[in-house]
Amino acid sequence: MEIINKSGCLPGALTKDEMEELAKGERMAIRASNIANTVLFAAKLFASYESRSLAVIASTLDSFLDLLSGFILWFTSNAMRKPNQYHYPIGKNRMQPVGIIVFASVMATLGLQIILESARELINGRKTKVNHDEEMWMIGIMISVTAVKFVLMVYCRRFKNEIVRAYAQDHFFDVITNSIGLVAATLAIKYKWWIDPVGAVVIALYTICTWTRTVLENVKALIGRTAPPDFLAKLTYLIWNHHEEIQHIDTVRAYTFGSHYFVEVDIVLPEDMLLSKTHNIGETLQEKLEQLREVERAFVHIDFEFTHRPEHKSTV
């Protein structure tokens, strides 16, 4: 905050070329994830056919949903890069949490179906026989898929883009579910058949808990939740030290409107100050606030006193 006050710009801000390079890397991460999901789904489909393991089949269904969800996130990312100031005057950044909510909802629906199939198998007591060659194919494919997903997870976590990080979370989720599926299927073949459906239930419960949490987090981001107190304190410090003519800070609000914050500020300036000077103070304060990485838009209201009632209609 002190550096921004003194220099008027954000320290460590990326240049235009650096931003283009970062965007290129993000697109590459999304493209690599989609290609990998397609290839790995085909491999796991073969492993499911060879092993007839319910846990492996559950993991394969998850990979199928990866393809569907990957298309959703790709469409969201592509739409955000094509702004339309007439239909979307403040941009399309809110498409990020919307796309992630759809993505997470699709993933969470997998859990209930897996639980039902696992319960049916436990009740029926169905046992699947797998020969040694089929077992080796299944183990080799599942280990390879898990290794590829782990590498993609590490790569996608390098970026701060919410959509790319959603891919990273999905890859991490796949590492967990693939590992559980492999262990459950192998133990079911070697020891007790019921370990396989029990492992599928574990995968299903993990799916439901993980993606339900993701949905709730992004819903909160869309309904305008307030920023934490420490961030509001930083904004207040930045505003108060912006210009020596600021006499009072009436209001400082910051609330989520997607993946970033909208900021509303009311400041008091001398009543006899020239309009041109008040305008310059307010405009430079707005530009300074919008340089913060967490802030998408900032609105600065200038007044000459602070005893009046709020101008905006209060909401219930």
Return the pLDDT at 185. Answer: 75
- Kindly state the tokens that stand for 279: 């305008």
Task: Dump pLDDT digits (tens) for 90-124.
Answer: 666 667 677 777 767 776 777 777 777 777 777 77
- CA angle at residue 29 from 44 to 262, to 5 degrees? 120
CA distance 243 to 266: 14
Return the pLDDT at 232. Answer: 93
Max mean pLDDT range (22-31, 130-139, 227-236): 227-236
Looking at the DSSP bridge assignments, the partners of residue 263 are 254, 298
Q: Could you give the 3-state DSSP secondary structure of residue 215?
A: helix
For the entire predicted model, the pTM comes to: 0.58
DSSP single-letter state for residue 203: H
Report residue 73's pLDDT band, with 50, 70 and 90 as the boundaries.
Answer: low
Q: DSSP letter string over 276-304?
A: HHHHHHHHHHHHHHHTSTTEEEEEEEEES
Report residue 231's pLDDT band, with 50, 70 and 90 as the boundaries.
Answer: very high
Max mean pLDDT range (52-56, 218-222, 312-316): 218-222
Task: Dump pLDDT digits (tens) for 152-165.
Answer: 888 888 777 766 77
CA distance 198 to 188: 10
- Kindly state the tokens that stand for 207: 């799916």
* Whether 132 contacts 51, CB under 8 Å: no
Residue 7 has pLDDT above 70, yes or no: no
Return the pLDDT at 280. Answer: 94
Residue 16 has pLDDT above 60, yes or no: no
- Kindly state the tokens that stand for 181: 């599926």
* Whether 286 contacts 299, CB under 8 Å: yes
Domains recognised in the chain with CATH numbers: 2-222 (1.20.1510.10), 229-303 (3.30.70.1350)
Return the pLDDT at 9. Answer: 60
Residue 268 has pLDDT above 90, yes or no: yes
Q: DSSP letter string over 144-162?
A: HHHHHHHHHHHHHTT---H
Report residue 283's pLDDT band, with 50, 70 and 90 as the boundaries.
Answer: very high
